């Protein structure tokens, strides 16, 4: 299953960065309309060590979230 989320909040501390994401909303693109129709609500929160994360999420940007079963 694939979802599309937007980073709506970034909380930085000395030791970590917390990203809060919500599903994309309708009205911003045709693709977002399709995702919004099937994933209208939810929240993802991710906290990482600040110095251990060279690639960071950007506030206001959309990201695909893929859910695959772990073996």
Quote the mean pLDDT of the chain. 85
The CA distances from residue 51 to 17, 22, 45, 54, 55, in Å, are 9, 25, 18, 7, 11
Q: Which of 24, 27, 57 is nearest to 41 (CA)?
A: 24
Q: How much of the chain exceeds pLDDT 90, in percent?
A: 41
Task: Give the predicted TM-score (pTM) of the model.
Answer: 0.77
Q: Give pLDDT, residue 21.
A: 96
35 close to 24: Cβ distance less than 8 angstroms: yes
> How confident is the model over 37-64, as pLDDT tens digits?
776 678 999 998 877 666 688 999 999 9
Question: Domain boundaries in the chain?
Answer: 2-66
């Amino acid at each position: 299953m694939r979802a599309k989320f937007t980073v709506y909040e970034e909380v930085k501390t000395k030791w970590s960065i917390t990203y809060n994401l919500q599903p994309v909303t309708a009205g911003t693109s045709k693709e977002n309309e399709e995702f919004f129709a099937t994933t209208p609500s939810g929240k993802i929160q991710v906290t990482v060590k600040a110095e251990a994360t060279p690639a960071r999420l950007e506030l206001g940007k959309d990201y695909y979230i893929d859910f695959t079963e772990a073996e």
